[in-house]
Amino acid sequence: MSSNLSTLIGTSGPTGNEVVLDIETQNWFTDEGVSDHAHLKISVIGCYFYQTDEYRAFEEREFAELWSRLEKADRLIGYNTIGFDYPVMNNYYSGNFHTFPTLDILDEIYRNLGRRLKLEDIAQATIGEGKSGYGGQAVEWWKAGELQKIKDYCLQDVRVTRLVYEYGLRHGALAYVDRSGERRGIPVNLLFKKEDAKAVNLTMPF
């Protein structure tokens, strides 16, 4: 294992009002008529709320409640959130999620490694467990009307992302396995600084 992983130790924990999120979609880019994010439809948004220690999966009819909670968060955390989740979520939101204080763990990995790695690969090398399936299954389950399976799958992704985040926060590094099969460390800075928070235009009435 690279020395990065064992020597970079941090002490900070998550803030009281951070949210880890992930989305699943009803369709995919390979489907007819889907050429970009504007054509993707959400089946479920899964979240973990640090403030209430709560996992929850939201359906479209619950999005107004979710938007209100996300607007109050200190920071949103995910994996490929900026590149994938936000463009699709913006199809349902009157504001712009790209203005929210965000930690996209994939972006942090790319910044330090120069490569984009799958959540599954990072999670298996870092915390020893991974996702419960693959994204295409969620689309198949939607078409079969198996909403609970989608929720369970999505919340497992959220749980794994949370554990990866907390590991990186504590140790200042994540791990991956290189082409030779060696486990290596990636230095990351996942700390939240209040001064980095951006003002968010509230779209929901309070």
Confidence grade of residue 129 (pLDDT, cut at 50, 70, 90) = confident
Cα distances (Å, whole numbers) of residue 130 to 72, 125, 156, 198: 29, 9, 9, 32
Top-confidence residue, 83 or 11: 83
Condensed to tens digits (0 to 9), the pLDDT of residues 32-41 reads 666 678 789 9
Angle of helix 147-171 relative to helix 119-127, nearest 10 degrees? 60
Find out whether 193 and 37 touch, Cβ atoms under 8 Å: no
Angle of helix 105-113 relative to helix 147-171, nearest 10 degrees? 50
Confidence grade of residue 7 (pLDDT, cut at 50, 70, 90) = very low
**Distance between CA atoms of residues 107 and 113, nearest Å:** 10
Angle of helix 147-171 relative to helix 135-143, nearest 10 degrees? 160
> What pLDDT score was predicted for residue 4?
37
- The full set of domains in the chain, from first to last, is 3-194 (3.30.420.10)
> What pLDDT score was predicted for residue 134?
64
The pTM score is 0.86
Q: How many helices (H) and strands (E) does the chain have?
A: 7, 7
